[in-house]
Amino acid sequence: MSIIERVAELLGPIARPNPKSSAPGEVDSNSVLDLIERAAGQSNERSKFPEVGKFAAQPVARGLVVGAKGEARPARPAGTTAQTLRIDRDRLRRQSIITPDDKRTPMTESFRRIKRHILVNMAEPKAGVPANVVMVTSALPGEGKTFCSINLAISIALEMDYSVLLVDADVAKPAIPKVLGLEEDKKGLMDLLLDRRIELADVLCKTDIGKLTLLPAGMVHQHATELLASGAMRELLREMGERYHDRIIVFDSPPLLAASETAVLASQMGQIIIVVEAGNASEAALKDALSRIEPSKIAGVVLNKGEGSALEYGYGGYGYGAK
């Protein structure tokens, strides 16, 4: 199935927050979809696709628990999440982020469709692939990946049979705390990678939204790039993916062309969502980004920041049309 077919199956247009309305705008997406199709066609030649081991840098920061030959560290003992964060629903609405009490809207339905496809892939996983570990990324900064990561995570948190862990993995420029109105100095992913005495449960932040839990980016560290590409990170991903089979882990990851470690993370993900800024997508940038990830892992492409008239959702099929 081509990426264009995935887009048609999964997505209606999804827009960046609009100060006058929380509904997505209509996107004239034909040119963007053509761009994606051309770029995807170029990226399907994988004879030179690097293996994970060739990407990964050796840990250089003190405190990493990785053996000389890359042995897996002992699994962290299970614990309980101590912190519970209250998230301001009005703040979310002002940014066009869905909330648990939202009515059926084009925005909520768009993310439901993405979510359903992810759940289907989880029900039919590939051997050795953690289908419950999902990356949301983009080619370049500013395309709306954090906006889409948060909306997707909240949509999943409303499921009856699944919980969700939203990981702020864009450690150089973490944006999730600012969007949600939370403190930005909490321990998180970086602390977990640097100090083996810290348990995963010690840095998780439970929220008052359904089954949504957060893993903050954590401390600023000069070797953040090496840490995300390290054996410790690979082991943590394995641990998170295998410990709770009913939990979906959503990674708000660095843009593919802005951080080399994103390609390493992508190689260890079960599913990948690509966010493309409608109207400003560069064919060269998108082609370059797609060449760094495995096509079979792409679960969907989100066209973000569309402008125009509002869209309406129609019953009798997932049809979108201009009001």
* pLDDT, tens digit, 9 for 90 and up, residues 3-23: 434 444 444 443 333 333 333
* pLDDT, tens digit, 9 for 90 and up, residues 52-67: 333 233 333 333 333 3
Secondary structure of the chain in HEC code, one letter for each residue: CCHHHHHHHHCCCCCCCECCECCCECCCCHHHHHHHHHHHHHHCCCCCCCCHHHHCCCCCCCCCCCCCCCCCCCCCCCCCCCEEECCCHHHHHHCCCCCCCCCCCHHHHHHHHHHHHHHHHHHCCCCCCCCCEEEEEECCCCCCHHHHHHHHHHHHHCCCCCEEEEEECCCCCCCHHHHHCCCCCCCCHHHHHHCCCCCHHHHCEEECCCCEEEECCCCCCCCHHHHHCCHHHHHHHHHHHHHCCCEEEEEECCCCCCCCHHHHHHHCCCEEEEEEECCCCCHHHHHHHHCCCCHHHEEEEEEECCCCCEEEEECCCCEEEEC
Instruction: Give pLDDT, residue 311.
Output: 29
* pLDDT, tens digit, 9 for 90 and up, residues 96-128: 999 998 888 888 898 999 999 999 998 887 776
With 60 as the cut, is the pLDDT of residue 148 above it? Answer: yes
**48 falls in which pLDDT band (50, 70, 90)?**
very low
Instruction: Give pLDDT, residue 39.
Output: 61
This prediction has a pTM of 0.75
Instruction: Give pLDDT, residue 49.
Output: 33
With 60 as the cut, is the pLDDT of residue 228 above it? Answer: yes
* pLDDT, tens digit, 9 for 90 and up, residues 230-262: 888 888 888 888 887 789 999 999 999 998 889
* pLDDT, tens digit, 9 for 90 and up, residues 171-200: 888 999 999 998 887 889 999 998 888 888
